[in-house]
Each structure stands twice: as C-alpha cells, then as structure tokens.
C-alpha cells in the first residue's frame, strides 16, 4: 500500500501535505465552535453529454482540508466528529475507473475516519450544517431539505463557515507554499519554453500548446484558461487562433496547477520577432517600473489598494513624461484616468484558486466594511486588505490600448482630453503588455516566488531569439 496508496486510480499526495490537512481540519473544528460543516468535493462536470466529463478537480475547500480529489466525497467537520463520507462504489467501478484504496486504507492514509455517504444524514442527526461552496456538488439532497426548512439558520451557518475558511486560507502554511512553489517552478519553465517556441511558430496556438505541454509533461494542469495572444488588449482572451506577425507583441498569461490543486499565475510579454521596437521597449520598461514599484510596496500592514495606486502613479508619471497624458499626476491617479490604459486591478490573492476564494465573493478579498469602488478600473480590484505575512498575491500591472475604451472614454467616466492622441499614435504597435509575478508577504517585506523567470527586456529578447 505504501508505494501506491490510492492504487491506479489517483496519484498519492505527499506526507507534508497530508499532515498539514490534518492540522487544518483541527483548526477549522476549533473555529466552528460546535457548528457542523459539510465540505463537498463535488463531482465531474459534464461537457457535451453526461458521461463525457471535464477532468475532475475537487473543490478548493475540500482540497484544503483533505488534499486529494475524491469524487463525490463529503467531509464533515465537527468537534470530535470529523469524518470523510464516501459514495458507494459501483460494482463495475474497478473495471471502468480502476481500483481505489479501501475505506480502511484511505482512513489510514488521511488520518480521518471514513464512512459511507449514505450514513451522513444520520450522523448529522437534527443539526443544521453549514455547506461550503462547490461548483458541482451532488448527494446532499436530504441535507439540503433539512436546511431548506430552516433557511435563516442555514444562511448564518454558511456565513460562519465562510469566515472561518477565509481566516485560515488567507495565510498559507508551509505545505501550501511548497505546493505553490512546485506549480510556479513549472510555470517558469513553461514561459521559457513559450519564448523559445515563438520563432518557429506561425500561430498563437503553437506557443500555447508548447507552454501547456510543459506543464502537463510534469504532471501539472493549468490553473485557469491560458491567455496566449497577440491581442493582449482583450484582457481575458482565451482564443489562440491568430497568426503571429513580426511586429507583434505576444502576451502569455499561463499558470500551472499542482495535482493537489494549488495555483501559480505568471504573465510575460515578448516580441514575436525577438526584438522590441523602440516604442514597444519604452512602454515595456514603463510597465516593468510599475511592477517593480508595486512589489517594493508590498509588505505586512500595507493596504493592497495602495499597491495598486502605487503602480497607477508610476504609469501616469511615465505617460506624462512620454507626452501621452497631460495634466496633474495626482489628479490623473485620483480620478482614475490611468485606467484608460490600465483598466484592471494590480492583482489578487493566490492559493488553491488563482483568484483565491472568489467563490465566496469579496469576503476573502475585501476587509470587513470595505466594498468595491465605483470608479472604472479600481472597481475591478479583487483585493483590498492590509497584507499579512503568509499571504500570496499576484502583482500584474499592464498597459493596453483597448479600442472601445479609447474611442469613448467618457462612457466609463474618464477624461478623454487628458490624452495627447498624436503622441499616443507613436505607440500604435503596443496593443497590450502585462508583467505578472507571484509575491509572498513576509515579516520583513516580500519575496518574489516567481523571480527566477526573466523579465528585463534584454533577457526577454535573448530567450526569444535563442
């Protein structure tokens, strides 16, 4: 059993992660103070017909507490009564899906009582349990019926569970950091492979394929839909069918995910030809300066919105020096004019989700009492908390020329007259640039976890031309 604890059916997690999961369950039990909480792993989502499913990946809350993607399993967390409830296996599951460890073996591996899912209702007796969010949960019909009869109590229980999960997951333990670092190291390789593949590629999709294959060769999936495009001005561009032209910049936002579910998130932008044009290099260096200033700002006690505004100020200052923007730097930051060229947030929490805990809305991202700004651009900021040691955030400034924004800035309340259109025209070969790294908040300040990946323009040119 030790060599292949989950048999053919699943890769086995390491002992560091399994020990951490046990500790996390204990901590959650303590925070729930008598409340019973259900954390479903979920089931695979269907694609074009029921049996043709997307690859299964358990919910992040389940992975945080159990460490393994077990289809249909439900974790019960309750003081002195925590247990893992497993659906009955079909008599032919061995034939179609492979043998799985027995409940006894799983129990020994996970350090957790394992029971049949059918016994969950009786284990709950008449309690109203909280249920953690799960995109594709199943098998909780009877529990949901009990909850539906007491909606206020169920909602309050869910809120209490969400707060407890946020408190725990905001700050990463050693096992989480180790899993994320594995994912980041693979992503660093993928970006280098992508740069090297550019000179021999004709379409975006060829670079994307080379990058994703670097992840999957190493046993990693992707944490989100890869963005690999010469149209970086479309922020979430998930199509890869465009031809590459010599004067284009390619923006690649690709991050791998470990089999334990931990994410990485890296963006680099490089010239298809291997050489930045003069105008591209000017803007690239400005975005790099934004990123360096933002990373320098990261540290314990710092409000993340100020990290965003630090980058915005560097952008405005640089664009004023280039003559693209006109006006008072303070005012152009404060009134959000910078968002004409930098219309998204500086970054977000990173962990088991690439936007960590976004399934809880802004509960993780926004400190109590804070809400999204109404200002265009700032409204897209996903994180507004004071940073704490152990948090991991992305720092990902960008510069974009979005035709629909520039055509009518007033539509989003921005000041068109601040732009010098003639000077801006000099930069027409820059559609989108973004530079993104993953940063750990430390007691002393910060550590760039993806710092191994080159980002100076000369380095980038060498990697593309190699």
- Shortest spacing between CB 53 and a second copy, in angstroms: 7
Contacting a second copy within 238-267 (CB under 8 A): 238-242, 259, 261
Q: Based on CB atoms, which residue is closest to a second copy, 127 or 242?
A: 242
Q: With contacts defined by CB under 8 A, how many residues of the chain interact with a second copy?
A: 68
- Shortest spacing between CB 252 and a second copy, in angstroms: 14
Q: Based on CB atoms, which residue is closest to a second copy, 57 or 385?
A: 57
Cα-to-chain-centroid distance, residue 254: 11
Does 98 engage in binding with a second copy (CB under 8 A)?
yes
Does 88 engage in binding with a second copy (CB under 8 A)?
no
- Shortest spacing between CB 297 and a second copy, in angstroms: 26
Q: Based on CB atoms, which residue is closest to a second copy, 35 or 383?
A: 383
Query: Which region among 16-24, 234-242, 280-288, 432-440 touches a second copy (by CB under 8 A)?
Result: 234-242
Query: Which region among 15-23, 24-32, 92-100, 178-186 touches a second copy (by CB under 8 A)?
Result: 92-100
Q: Based on CB atoms, which residue is closest to a second copy, 376 or 461?
A: 376
Does 348 engage in binding with a second copy (CB under 8 A)?
no
Does 203 engage in binding with a second copy (CB under 8 A)?
yes
Does 52 engage in binding with a second copy (CB under 8 A)?
yes
Query: Which region among 130-138, 323-331, 416-424, 442-450 touches a second copy (by CB under 8 A)?
Result: 130-138
Measured in degrees and rounded to the nearest 5, phi and psi for residue 366 equal -110, 130
Calpha distance 328→337 (Å, rounded): 11
Contact with a second copy (CB under 8 A) among 19, 27, 53, 181: 53
Contact with a second copy (CB under 8 A) among 354, 381, 439, 464: 354
Residue 121 token pair: 């209702």
- Shortest spacing between CB 442 and a second copy, in angstroms: 27
Binding site for a second copy (CB under 8 A): 8-11, 45-55, 57, 59-60, 91, 94-99, 133, 135-136, 203, 205-206, 208-210, 212-214, 216-219, 224-225, 231, 234-242, 259, 261, 343, 352-355, 357-359, 402-405, 411
């Amino acid at each position: 059993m030790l060599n292949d604890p989950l048999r053919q059916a699943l890769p086995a997690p390491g002992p560091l992660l399994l020990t951490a999961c046990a500790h996390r369950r204990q901590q959650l039990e303590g925070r729930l103070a008598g409340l019973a909480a259900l954390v479903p792993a979920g089931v695979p989502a269907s694609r074009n017909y029921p049996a043709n499913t997307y690859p299964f990946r358990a919910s992040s809350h389940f992975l945080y507490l159990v460490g393994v993607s077990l289809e249909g399993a439900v974790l019960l967390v309750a003081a002195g009564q925590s247990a893992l409830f497993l659906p009955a296996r079909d008599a032919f599951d061995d034939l179609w899906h492979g043998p799985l460890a027995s409940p006894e073996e799983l129990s020994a591996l996970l350090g957790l009582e394992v029971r049949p899912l059918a016994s969950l209702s009786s284990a709950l007796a008449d309690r109203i349990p909280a249920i953690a969010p799960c995109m594709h949960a199943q098998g909780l019909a009877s529990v949901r019926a009990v909850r539906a009869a007491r909606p206020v109590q169920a909602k309050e229980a869910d809120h209490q569970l969400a707060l407890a999960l946020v408190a725990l997951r905001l700050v990463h333990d050693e096992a989480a950091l180790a899993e994320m670092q594995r994912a980041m190291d693979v992503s660093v390789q993928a970006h280098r492979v992508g740069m090297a593949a550019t000179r021999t590629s004709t379409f975006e999709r060829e670079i994307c394929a080379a990058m994703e294959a670097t992840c999957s060769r190493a046993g990693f999936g992707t944490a989100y839909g890869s963005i690999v495009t010469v149209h970086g001005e479309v922020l979430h561009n998930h199509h890869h069918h465009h031809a590459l032209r010599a004067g284009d910049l390619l923006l690649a936002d690709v991050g791998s995910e470990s089999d334990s579910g931990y994410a990485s998130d890296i963006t680099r932008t490089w010239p298809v030809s291997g050489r930045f044009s003069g105008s591209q290099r000017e803007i690239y260096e400005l975005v790099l300066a934004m990123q360096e200033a933002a990373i320098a700002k990261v540290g314990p006690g710092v409000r993340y919105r100020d990290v965003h505004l630090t980058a915005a100020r560097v952008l405005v200052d640089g664009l004023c020096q280039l003559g693209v923007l006109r006006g008072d730097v303070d005012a152009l930051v404060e009134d959000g004019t910078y968002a004409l060229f930098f219309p998204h947030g500086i970054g977000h929490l990173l962990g088991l989700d690439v936007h960590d805990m976004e399934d809880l809305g802004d509960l993780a991202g926004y400190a109590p009492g804070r809400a999204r700004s109404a200002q265009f651009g700032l409204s897209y900021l996903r994180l507004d908390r004071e940073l704490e040691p152990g948090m991991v955030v992305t720092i990902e400034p960008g510069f974009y020329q979005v035709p629909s924004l520039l055509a009518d800035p007033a539509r989003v309340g921005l000041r068109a007259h601040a732009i010098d259109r003639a000077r801006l025209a000099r930069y027409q070969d820059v559609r989108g640039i973004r530079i993104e790294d993953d940063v750990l908040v430390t007691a002393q300040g910060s550590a760039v976890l993806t710092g191994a990946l080159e980002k100076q323009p000369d380095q980038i040119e060498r990697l593309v031309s190699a």
